[in-house]
Each structure stands twice: as structure tokens, then as C-alpha cells.
Amino acid sequence: MQDVLVTVLLFLPLVFLLWLANLAERRRTAVEGQADNALGVITMVLLGAFLGIFVLLGIILGVLGLLAQAQSAAATAVAAAGLDPASFGKMGLAMWASALLGIVLLLPPVRRLLARLIPMDPRNTVHAVALSYSALILMNLLVTLGLGLRNLSALMESGGGAQSNPMPGLWAQDVTLAFMALVGVGWLSRQGIRGALQRLGVGRLSLRRLFGGIGIGLGLVPLVLALEWLTRQVGIPSDADVERLTEQLIGPLTQSLPGILTLGLAAALGEESIFRGALQPRFGLLFTTVLFALLHSQYGISVSTLLVFIVGLVLGIVRTRANTTTTMLIHAIYNMALGLITYLGVMQNV
């Protein structure tokens, strides 16, 4: 229950700012040719202040890291907790630099420049907020790398994370992402639920897309497994820290059929709604796929990250030719098939 509450509280300000941005955009476009309105400015200021908090926290974290390294007693205490004192500085740098990037992305000249590369409207408040949010995905990855996958894994073990039930937290995260996607495309502000779902590309599946989605989802499994095998053959070993952390985060889900269903259905609902549904039509295939890969921070920068990118690229291509419902089906089938393989122990000796 605590995981659910923390997840909701973390996403609440992000959802609120998206809702406010949509209200600002509705007001801006209410009168043709109207300049950016006060509500849009307020939204930008609030988001800038929100990111400014992370800039401040990052600087404080960096200072604490320097102090911990300078004082032997503090360094010993930090090391006893399973952390490297130097990791504080790395996490602090990752936090304030990423937050600062998010603020820079709100600047009109920067948005106009990026609009030449991705299909976004630089005047649109919602697009500006969503673009700035991409820096938070980068922050999540860089802070994880700053802490270190090994340290994160050790912290989870010391806190009993490896034995916890991740299902409630995962459902909370992905349902919140789906809700965020709906609010982001204008639900509760500019259009009703039907229009929001249509904008996200969520609709009925034809028989052709149903069977095609199942086929692609199942086909991705041997493709990814073959790529993993190929990387090992060319001398690129799997990352032990990635495998250890993945086992802690996902392993409990692969030990039961409800867990396997959660692994497929929750991720398909949340990740596809936000990435292929909301973001890809505005940020394009490549940029959205990069963000999708970076979201999986538990893989750090590894072969697994590349494989996630390839899967995301396939899902994005399908989105351009079909709809988000089809990519949800593919994502669910793919995740559940991998989970079932692990559950049955089919690949243990491969």
C-alpha cells in the first residue's frame, strides 16, 4: 500500500501541471491569433519552480557528498550503509543538471529549434510541458547510474525489496501513467473521454490487427533472445548487476500466473498509453523510442537497454501503421511470453 501511495503522490504534481497546461492551451486557442495567456505563463513558472526544487536538492546532495568524503567518520558511516560517498556527488550532479535541462527546454527559442526536428508546436503549452518532462526521464536514469546498479541492488536487499510483492506498485505506476496520458491529451479540460481515447489511438481491434499483434508479440521473443545470444557470442557479456537488479524487480512477478499477467497487462496499459499513444504523435518515432528505452533505468546503459530500444522501435512502427491498442496487445504478449518462459524454466540451460 505504501508503494501505491508514494507512486500517486510522485505523479500528482505532474498530472496537475498537464491539466493546467491543457486549460491554458484551450484559452490560448479560444480566440484565433490570441497571444500566450497568463495561465500558460503560470504553468511554465510552476513547472520551472518544480524543477528548481530538484536543482536545489541536487546541489545539496553534491555538497553532502563532498562533506562525506572529507570527513572520515561520515565516510565510514555512509560506507557502512552500503553506499560509496562519491555516489552522492554523482547523483547530485545528475539531479541538478537534468532539472536544469528541463527548465531550458521550456524556453521559447529552444522549443522553436526543436520543432524543426520533431513534430511539435513550439507555441503549445502542453507540448512544452511534455518536452520538459522528458528531462525527468533522463534524471531518473542518471540518478540511478550515479547511485550505481550494484548499490541500488544492495539497498533493495537490505530493505527486503527482493522479497516484496511488486504487483500493487507496478499497477499503481502504470494506471497512473495511463491516467496521465488521458489528462495530457485533454481529458477533463479540452475534450471528453471518447475524444481523448481517439487521440491516444485506443479503439477496437480488427481481426487482422488482433492476429497480427499476437504474431508480432510472439515473434519479438525469439528475436530478442537471439540478439542476446549473439551479443554473448561476439564477446559482450551480460551485466551481472543488471541481471541481479532485474531479478529483484521483476523476478517475483515471474513466479506466479497473476504476476505474469501483471507484467504484461500493466506495462501495456501504462507505457503504451503514454509513449505510443500520447508522445509519439507529437515527438516522433525516434525521440519517443529513445525516451522509452531510457525509462527502463534498471538496465542502466547496457545491452538490455538496446534491446528495449529495438522493441520500442517495433512498437512505434506498428503505431504509425495501426493504433495504440495494437501496440498494447503486442507489448502484453511479449512481456507475458518472456515471463512464462522464466516461470517454466525453459531457457535456464541456454
Q: Are residues 123 and 179 in the same domain?
A: no
Q: Is the pLDDT of residue 74 over 70?
A: no
DSSP assignment letter at 166 = -
In this structure, is residue 338 part of a structural domain? yes
pLDDT tens sequence across 97-106: 999 999 999 9
Give the C-alpha distances (Å, rounded to integers) separating 96 from 49, 59, 136, 140, 242: 13, 6, 11, 12, 25
Q: Are residues 202 and 280 in the same domain?
A: yes
Q: How many helices (H) and strands (E) does the chain have?
A: 16, 0
- The phi-psi region of residue 160 (left if phi > 0; otherwise alpha if psi is between -120 and 50; otherwise beta) is left
What number is the average pLDDT over the span 117-123?
Answer: 94
pLDDT tens sequence across 196-217: 999 999 999 999 999 999 999 9
Q: Is the pLDDT of residue 163 over 60?
A: no
In this structure, is residue 6 part of a structural domain? yes
**Whole-number pLDDT of residue 77:** 53
CB atoms within 10 A of CB 301: 14
Domain count, the chain: 2
* More confident site: 110 or 30: 110
DSSP assignment letter at 277 = I
Q: Are residues 279 and 247 in the same domain?
A: yes
Q: Are residues 113 and 174 in the same domain?
A: no
Q: Are residues 325 and 192 in the same domain?
A: yes
Report pTM.
Answer: 0.94
Band (267; pLDDT cuts 50, 70, 90): very high
Among 61-70, 101-110, 226-235, name the most confident range.
101-110
What number is the average pLDDT over the span 273-288?
Answer: 97
Q: Are residues 307 and 183 in the same domain?
A: yes
DSSP assignment letter at 238 = P
Band (79; pLDDT cuts 50, 70, 90): low
Q: Are residues 312 and 265 in the same domain?
A: yes
Domain boundary residue, one of 82, 115, 147: 147
pLDDT tens sequence across 233-262: 998 988 899 999 999 999 999 999 999 999
**Whole-number pLDDT of residue 153:** 87
Band (37; pLDDT cuts 50, 70, 90): confident
In this structure, is residue 160 part of a structural domain? no
**Range(s) of the domain holding residue 275:** 165-350
Q: Is 252 exposed, middle or buried (0-12, 13-18, 19+ CB in 10 A)?
A: middle
What number is the average pLDDT over the span 258-279?
Answer: 97
Band (82; pLDDT cuts 50, 70, 90): low
| Residue keyed to cell 515471463 | 339
Q: Are residues 253 and 279 in the same domain?
A: yes
CB contact at 8 A, 121 and 127: yes
